[in-house]
Amino acid sequence: METSHLLDIAGTYGAPVYVYDAEKISSQYRKLTQAFRQVDHLRLNYAAKALSNLSILRLMNHLGSGLDTVSIQEVKLGLLAGFAPESIIYTPNGVSLEEIEEAAALGVQINIDNLSVLEQFGNKHPDIPVCIRINPHVMAGGNSNISVGHIDSKFGISIHQIPHLLRIVELTKMNINGIHMHTGSDILDIDVFLYASEILFDTAKHFPDLEFIDFGSGFKVPYRQGDIQTNVEELGKKLSLRFNAFCEEYGKSLTLAFEPGKFLVSEAGYFLTKVNVVKQTTSTVFAQVDSGFNHLIRPMLYGSQHEILNISNPKGRERYYSVVGYICETDTFGSNRRISEIAEGDILAFRNAGAYCYTMSSNYNSRYRPAEVLWYQGKAHLIRERETFDDILRNQIDTSTLFETAPKSLTEK
């Protein structure tokens, strides 16, 4: 979609607003399926937590994707969006047995990542097939926040606990139909990923009734020019070859599954904000927008660098700005960025705003969450309204009668 479309959307729906380009989501989906064309049974389960608007989930379902969910609420959203229960996988961490049972009762694929719950679930429901999340203890790059495969991670069942795991499966007679790993959010190095996959194949050999092997996600997308991105074509070639060889050895054509979040939606998203104030200090020129980490927390939480464009003046002379928000905290989106000259009232577009942006937003400072718009087949569709004051009050109990009598004065005590 073009810059002028974004500007029109900001004009129609106001700022701040999130915009998602459906065509970019579709092309990313196609790119990934194409890369694994040599595999007989491929399954992409879109990771709902990246962007969970119902309309996005419907689009994913329409593309043929399955859904990866991490909470019972995401499972319910997926079902509402039209996913068949069997095309939803539920991969929680640290949730109660009750929540897992609730998901199982809805008919979705259960993925268990600790021995305690595995044993309890297996004892109570030996007939419900279960996938197991393995921790191969491989760091596939990224920083300590996002590499979850290492030794101290809370995710997955350690490969060093396989003997214990096998005893539980034997005693409960449960049916393990899938093996899963998710090594982290950034696959920097295909060879590291392939190395982790070997551990998964080794583990898989212990389970005779598998239907699928799920390699999780971690596809890296570029945020700035020159950023590394996962070469999915190369990964596709190498892993497909290895996977097919494994299936031969295993004696069954298994499904190869992935759970991409960021890869499918990050680059499809734009966050549009309006510049309230241009503020010159002794050292910096600040552009203050009508947003903050209440709407987009990734720069402050992960240090992610979202490219920022002035779409109101795209051809203007470039100057240096620090783009900050209006929250009463330090909420720097970008320091000393070169952006075409900014005037108050201009619309700034943040790129890569599809994944983990709206879903991480809050009402901090009692601000409204933004609206969301889907750009689909050349038209803008509002898919979530901006919040209103009623949303701020929702669930708050009116306690005004508690305070009807005058407060005890301090001297009375």
Q: By the 8 A CB rule, do 57 and 77 touch?
A: yes
- Choose which of 31, 41, 49, 238 interacts with ligand PLP (CB under 6 A): 49
Stretch that binds ligand PLP, among 42-50, 205-213, 275-283, 310-318 (CB under 6 A): 42-50
- As measured in angstroms, the least distance from the Cβ of 258 to ligand PLP is 8
Under the binding rule (CB under 6 A), the answer on residue 119 touching ligand PLP is no
Helix 115-124 vs helix 97-105: crossing angle, to nearest 10: 50
* Rounded-to-integer distance, Cα 379 and Cα 227, Å: 31
Q: By the 8 A CB rule, do 131 and 180 touch?
A: yes
Under the binding rule (CB under 6 A), the answer on residue 261 touching ligand PLP is yes
- As measured in angstroms, the least distance from the Cβ of 398 to ligand PLP is 38
* Rounded-to-integer distance, Cα 190 and Cα 24, Å: 24
Please give, one letter per residue, the 3-state secondary structure of 46-113: EEHHHCCCHHHHHHHHHHCCEEEECCHHHHHHHHHCCCCHHHEEECCCCCCHHHHHHHHHCCCEEEEC
Q: Report 160-199 residues binding ligand PLP (CB under 6 A).
A: 182, 185
User: Dihedral through CA 221, CA 226, CA 228, CA 234, nearest 10?
Assistant: 90
Stretch that binds ligand PLP, among 74-82, 259-267, 359-367, 377-385 (CB under 6 A): 259-267
- As measured in angstroms, the least distance from the Cβ of 232 to ligand PLP is 12
- As measured in angstroms, the least distance from the Cβ of 185 to ligand PLP is 4
Strands 318-324 and 285-289: parallel
Under the binding rule (CB under 6 A), the answer on residue 32 touching ligand PLP is no
With a CB cutoff of 8 Å and minimum separation 6, the contacts of 291 are 16, 271, 273, 325, 326, 370
Q: Is 382 helix (H, G, I), strand (E, B) or coil?
A: strand
Under the binding rule (CB under 6 A), the answer on residue 218 touching ligand PLP is yes
Under the binding rule (CB under 6 A), the answer on residue 372 touching ligand PLP is no
Which among 217, 229, 218 is positioned nearest to 257, based on CA atoms? 217
Which among 132, 125, 129, 63 is positioned nearest to 97, based on CA atoms? 125
Q: By the 8 A CB rule, do 225 and 217 touch?
A: no
* Rounded-to-integer distance, Cα 156 and Cα 160, Å: 11
Q: Between 21 and 259, whose beta carbon lies closer to ligand PLP?
A: 259
Under the binding rule (CB under 6 A), the answer on residue 304 touching ligand PLP is no
- As measured in angstroms, the least distance from the Cβ of 314 to ligand PLP is 29
Under the binding rule (CB under 6 A), the answer on residue 298 touching ligand PLP is no
* Annotated catalytic residue, options 131, 247, 328, 357: 328
Tell me the site size for ligand PLP, rule CB under 6 A.
18
- As measured in angstroms, the least distance from the Cβ of 109 to ligand PLP is 12
- Choose which of 28, 33, 91, 322 interacts with ligand PLP (CB under 6 A): 91
Q: Does 328 participate in catalysis according to the annotation?
A: yes
* CB under 8 A, 24+ apart: contacts of 78-85: 78/48, 78/108, 79/106, 80/54, 81/54, 81/57, 82/57, 82/58, 83/57
- As measured in angstroms, the least distance from the Cβ of 254 to ligand PLP is 19
Helix 54-63 vs helix 72-80: crossing angle, to nearest 10: 70
313 token code pair: 């003046």
Stretch that binds ligand PLP, among 224-232, 261-269, 276-284, 346-354 (CB under 6 A): 261-269
Identify residue 222 by its one-letter amino acid code: P
- Choose which of 136, 216, 292, 354 interacts with ligand PLP (CB under 6 A): 216
Under the binding rule (CB under 6 A), the answer on residue 47 touching ligand PLP is yes
Under the binding rule (CB under 6 A), the answer on residue 89 touching ligand PLP is no
- Choose which of 22, 35, 50, 75 interacts with ligand PLP (CB under 6 A): 50
Under the binding rule (CB under 6 A), the answer on residue 260 touching ligand PLP is yes
Q: Between 29 and 286, whose beta carbon lies closer to ligand PLP?
A: 29
Q: Between 50 and 200, whose beta carbon lies closer to ligand PLP?
A: 50
Q: What is the DSSP letter of 333?
A: E
Under the binding rule (CB under 6 A), the answer on residue 28 touching ligand PLP is no
From the number of C-beta atoms within 10 Å of its C-beta (0-12, 13-18, 19+), residue 252 rates as exposed
- Choose which of 263, 286, 358, 375 interacts with ligand PLP (CB under 6 A): 263
Under the binding rule (CB under 6 A), the answer on residue 70 touching ligand PLP is yes
Under the binding rule (CB under 6 A), the answer on residue 230 touching ligand PLP is no
Binding site for ligand PLP (CB under 6 A): 47, 49-50, 68, 70, 91, 182, 185, 216-219, 259-263, 355
Q: Which residues are catalytic?
A: 328
